[in-house]
Chain A
Amino acid sequence: MAQTEIRVGGLGGQGVILCGSIIGKAAAIHDGKHATLIQAFGPEARGSACSAQVMVSDQPIGYPYVKHPDVLVLMSQDAFTQFLPQLKPGGLVLYESDLVDPRGALPAGVRSAGVPATRFAEELGRRLVLNIVMVGFFAGVTGLVPIQAVERAVLDSVPKGTEDLNMKALRKGYDYGREQSTQIC
């Protein structure tokens, strides 16, 4: 049974939960897989630690809690520090490279790739879409869910009127992720 455990971590207001939700929707609704989402957030709407646990599997999922993720998607240094010890040996760390500095902290065998998602989002016109850049980056590096499924999940999830910019953000992260995926070791 192919099962992938994912932990998305960052700060409230970065769209961490939406990021996890889109990955899960893409897999479960648009790619015929099974997925679960568990979210955890602090008491503040913005700025507090926040994470989402996403499980994607070919089979029904009996236990949705992510204890040892295969993939970490990290958007803050605190999330990196908190969740890195949980990563499976040989797991994959995807991080926002302007907000997370992984130097010297990655265990041997762990693969990693960074994306300046906030900068890309600002270049596109809205910092708000950094989480969608991260979703695209995740899809581009891991190939876990086809980009077409992710596109449909984004369109299902974002407010009307914001679709075009969100799709550009997704594509930007995806293309960058495809480039990076050839260099990950």
Chain B
Amino acid sequence: MALDSYPASVTLRDGSTVVLTPLQPSCSGALLAFYRHLPEEDRLMLRDDVTTSDWAEGFLRKVETREIISLVAKAAGKVVGEATLYRTLHGWTRHVGEIRVTVAAAFRRKGLATALAAAQVKIATDLGIEKIIVQVVDNQLAARRTFEKLGFHKEAILPHHVMDVAGMKRDLIVLANDVSQIWAAMEAANQDYAPHLG
């Protein structure tokens, strides 16, 4: 149900169009190629080594079990961006999801990251996830702004938690969005006590 509206076309700020579509097993080669073409300093910011076939196989397995919802952005048949929603299907954080977004250098500052992130927030909400978190490094200001526009706020800082390509330690910021509030508003609208109406 959450993925019913895909594939979907998105027009970027420069007028170009990309198509957002759920990752299919047949797309794994294109996804791997996308990650392998990322600059090393970008890949260092990712949690996994996304250049290996083993990683791609494991990723696809989790997509099949719906532990991961992956949306890829395609332009001219190539993957130019990817957003992943991670969730646990059982346990005490089953109401929490985590979003990670990666966009090819040529497609940055065009609104693609925002479109991918917004799409995953909506999917997470449709899946009943109540809280979404995102991890950004303290110098990833554009990424932070993107998520803040989508309602995320700073919830925690892990000082000197990540090390960049130059060996410099940086703070990791956890942003959170309590999307359960969206449905709390709907519940309020359904209260059936509305003196302002009549």
Instruction: Name A residues whose Cβ lies closer than 8 Å to a Cβ of B.
Output: 11-18, 21, 37-39, 41, 45-46, 50, 124-126, 128-129, 131, 157-162, 164-166, 168
Which B residues are in CB contact (< 8 Å) with A21? 194, 197
- The answer to whether B182 and A15 touch across the interface, beta carbons within 8 angstroms, is no
- The answer to whether B197 and A39 touch across the interface, beta carbons within 8 angstroms, is yes
Render B111-134 as a binary contact track against A, CB cut-off 8 A, 1 for contact: 000000000001001111000000
- Output the nearest chain B residue to A15 by Cβ-Cβ distance: B190
Which B residues are in CB contact (< 8 Å) with A129? 186
Instruction: Name B residues whose Cβ lies closer than 8 Å to a Cβ of A.
Output: 1-2, 4-5, 122, 125-128, 179, 182-183, 185-194, 197-198
Given contacts A37-B197, A39-B197, A126-B183, contact A158 B189 (CB under 8 A): yes
Which A residues are in CB contact (< 8 Å) with B185? 159-162
- Output the nearest chain A residue to B127 by Cβ-Cβ distance: A125
Contact of B190 among A37, A39, A131 (CB under 8 A): A131
Additional 13 contacts, C-beta under 8 A, given A159-B188, A168-B1: A12-B192, A13-B192, A15-B192, A18-B189, A38-B198, A45-B192, A45-B193, A125-B126, A158-B186, A160-B182, A161-B182, A164-B126, A166-B186
Which A residues are in CB contact (< 8 Å) with B197? 17, 21, 37, 39
Which A residues are in CB contact (< 8 Å) with B179? 161
Which B residues are in CB contact (< 8 Å) with A162? 182-183, 185-186
Smallest CB–CB gap between B194 and chain A, Å? 5
- The answer to whether B182 and A39 touch across the interface, beta carbons within 8 angstroms, is no
Given contacts A17-B197, A39-B198, A45-B193, contact A128 B186 (CB under 8 A): yes
Smallest CB–CB gap between B85 and chain A, Å? 15
- The answer to whether B192 and A37 touch across the interface, beta carbons within 8 angstroms, is no
- Output the nearest chain A residue to B185 by Cβ-Cβ distance: A159
Interface of A is mostly: mixed
* In the bound complex, CA of A1 to CA of B29 (Å): 66
- The answer to whether A159 and B189 touch across the interface, beta carbons within 8 angstroms, is yes
Smallest CB–CB gap between A127 and chain B, Å? 10
Smallest CB–CB gap between A18 and chain B, Å? 6
- The answer to whether A39 and B122 touch across the interface, beta carbons within 8 angstroms, is no
- The answer to whether A128 and B187 touch across the interface, beta carbons within 8 angstroms, is yes
- The answer to whether B1 and A124 touch across the interface, beta carbons within 8 angstroms, is yes
Smallest CB–CB gap between B132 and chain A, Å? 12
Which B residues are in CB contact (< 8 Å) with A14? 190, 192
Which A residues are in CB contact (< 8 Å) with B128? 125-126
* In the bound complex, CA of A31 to CA of B5 (Å): 28
Given contacts A125-B128, A165-B126, contact A16 B1 (CB under 8 A): no
* In the bound complex, CA of A46 to CA of B1 (Å): 29
Contact of B183 among A16, A50, A128 (CB under 8 A): A128
Smallest CB–CB gap between B89 and chain A, Å? 16
* In the bound complex, CA of A86 to CA of B194 (Å): 25
Closest 3 CB pairs of A and B: A15-B190, A159-B185, A161-B182
Which B residues are in CB contact (< 8 Å) with A164? 5, 122, 126
Which A residues are in CB contact (< 8 Å) with B193? 12, 41, 45
- The answer to whether B122 and A159 touch across the interface, beta carbons within 8 angstroms, is no
Which B residues are in CB contact (< 8 Å) with A15? 189-190, 192
- Output the nearest chain B residue to A11 by Cβ-Cβ distance: B192
Can you pick out 17 interface pairs between chain A and chain B where the beta carbons lie within 8 Å of each other? A13-B192, A15-B190, A15-B192, A18-B194, A38-B198, A39-B194, A39-B197, A39-B198, A45-B193, A128-B190, A159-B186, A160-B182, A160-B185, A161-B125, A161-B179, A161-B182, A161-B185
Which B residues are in CB contact (< 8 Å) with A125? 1-2, 126-128
